[in-house]
Amino acid sequence: MHTSRLFMKSGIGKTCIHVLMTWQSCRERSLAALQIQVTRTLISAPGQQTGGGVSENKRGLKAIDIAQRERESKGEPRGLKGKTVNKGNLKETLPVSPLQRRVSELKQFSQHLQNVHPNVLAKILHKSIVFKNQDVVAINKPYGVPVHDTENASSSIASVLPVLVKMLHGIRTERRLHVCHKLDKNTTGILLLGQTEDATDHIHTLFKALQVERKYWVVVVGVPVPSEGVVDIPVVEKEVTGAQPHFKMGLSPLFRTSDGGEGVTRVRANRHARSAVTQYRVLDSSHGCSLVELQPITDVKDQLRVHMGLALGCPILGDHKYAHWEKLAPQQLPKGVLRQLGLEQSKARHLPLHLHHRQLTVPGFKGHSDLTASCWLPKFFTSSVQKLLISLPEKPANEK
């Protein structure tokens, strides 16, 4: 104790105490200043007032605001959104056009439907029902969803039918739904589901006998000449050689133009070719594109796409397979069409296939009258038609 008093009275003790008090004072002032600065930062954001109160939106600084300030301090421009690209060690985003966003949304939507939980897809199909009776259910098939399971999709319409039938008839039902006919993954429109085995078998038989009347609406690049007619050219699968060898359906005509250019000469029929007949009618045209109604008389793989693209020279908008014969590449669109769609050629690969199964009529079953089911166009289809200034027939009030 005596030693402590001597130390306090000594010059060394007083100096130590003074240094300690000075350090504590500086520390307190620094903490106070830091607290004030943090408070000002938290209550202020770009474009907001900082005069002693919180912002009008009453929200603090977000991570995106901090990142934006960091970019601005380095002299980088504001408002970069969209695609991510690498620039040295910095990742930047590039702006995207409204059309690119719509295309991206469509791709994400179709991919989402292929990989969602079966209950979610079943709910979407339930909302898309356009007709229902004791024998069949007709749905408006979404774009990009396969009818049957594939390697690239975890969900399909067939795989969720057990869930859909419970939504229709209750959780304890023993009834089943059956797919009555085929419809390609990227084709939208009417798809029939049988509620009984008898109805399903009957519809299968009618399809094989080509007694079901089907009508499709398509947007094509070009204007078919004449504006109404019948394409009667057999179709056969062919191998395309070259840098990108592949197989696809092609024309196998029974006649060819004579060497002199006068008249036609009959050629030997390909034994693997199948008869393909398509009726067509132009509904309207504008800016180098047309809305066409197609009625296939036969049922051959890719028949409508082949007849429009290879026979009439008016490929379906978004058909990247049959817009070219010799290669696999995105569809090449005229500058006028690109301008109307607000699209660059480099982004044309994102255009979806504009092929919609508009209406289907099945002959009477078990004494019933003929069944006709129809559905309206998907949003991406109507959006393209509006941009091209093509007139659509008036939508029936009772159609989904």
User: CA 100 to CA 105: how far, in whole Å?
Assistant: 8
Buried b (16+ CB within 10 A) or exposed e, 183-193: bbbbbbbbbbb
Q: Per CATH, which fold does 99-209 belong to?
A: Pseudouridine synthase (3.30.2350)
| Contact indicator for 289, 219 with CB cutoff of 8 Å | yes
How far is the CA of 19 from the CAs of 12, 208, 223, in angstroms? Answer: 11, 100, 93
How many C-beta neighbours within 10 Å does residue 285 have? 20
Say if residue 155's pLDDT is above 70.
yes
* Per-residue pLDDT band at 177 (split at 50, 70, 90): very high
Among 49-53, 134-138, 249-253, which is the least confidently predicted range?
A: 49-53
Cβ atoms of 163 and 118 within 8 Å: the answer is yes
Confidence at 269, pLDDT banded by 50, 70, 90: confident
Active-site residue, from 65, 149, 184, 370: 184
pLDDT surpasses 80 at 51: no
What is the per-residue pLDDT for 89? 45
Q: By the 8 A CB rule, do 220 and 289 touch?
A: yes
- Both tokens assigned to 53: 């109160």
**pLDDT grade for 102, boundaries at 50, 70 and 90:** low
Helix (H) or strand (E) holding 217: strand 213-221
Highest mean pLDDT among 1-10, 31-40, 318-327, 361-370: 318-327
Looking at residues 342-371, what average pLDDT do you find? 89
Q: For the residues of 285-324, what is the DSSP string, one character each?
A: EETTEEEEEEEESS--TTHHHHIIIIISS-PBTT-TTTS-
Compute the average pLDDT of residues 380-395.
95
- What is the reported pLDDT for 116? 80
35 alpha carbon, distance to own chain's centre: 51
- pTM over 0.85? The answer is no
In the structure, what pLDDT confidence band is assigned to residue 328 with cuts at 50, 70 and 90?
A: confident
Q: How far apart are CA 310 and CA 332, in angstroms?
A: 15
Task: Answer with the residue of higher pLDDT: 232 or 67.
Answer: 232
The pLDDT value given to residue 22: 52
Phi then psi dihedrals of residue 127, to 5 deg: -70, -20
Tell me the two tokens of residue 384. Answer: 């393209």
Q: What's the pLDDT band for 27 if we cut at 50, 70, 90? A: low
Residue 52: pLDDT band with limits 50, 70, 90: very low
**Is the bond preceding 142 in cis, omega lying within 30 degrees of 0?**
no
Least confident of 16-20, 61-65, 373-377: 16-20
The average pLDDT across 114-138 equals 92
pLDDT: which is higher, 44 or 389:
389
Q: Which residue has the higher pLDDT, 338 or 328?
A: 338
Who has greater pLDDT, 119 or 52? 119
Domain with CATH 3.30.2350.10 in the chain: 99-209, 211-400
At residue 101, the pLDDT reads: 72
- 375-391 average pLDDT score: 96
Distance (Å, rounded) from C-alpha 295 to C-alpha 292? Answer: 10
Q: Is 184 a catalytic residue?
A: yes
pLDDT of residue 398: 80
> By mean pLDDT, which of 29-38, 183-192, 354-363, 371-380 is the weakest?
29-38
pLDDT above 90 as % of the chain: 55
| Residue bearing the bigger pLDDT, 271 or 28 | 271
- CATH fold, domain 211-400, is Pseudouridine synthase (3.30.2350)
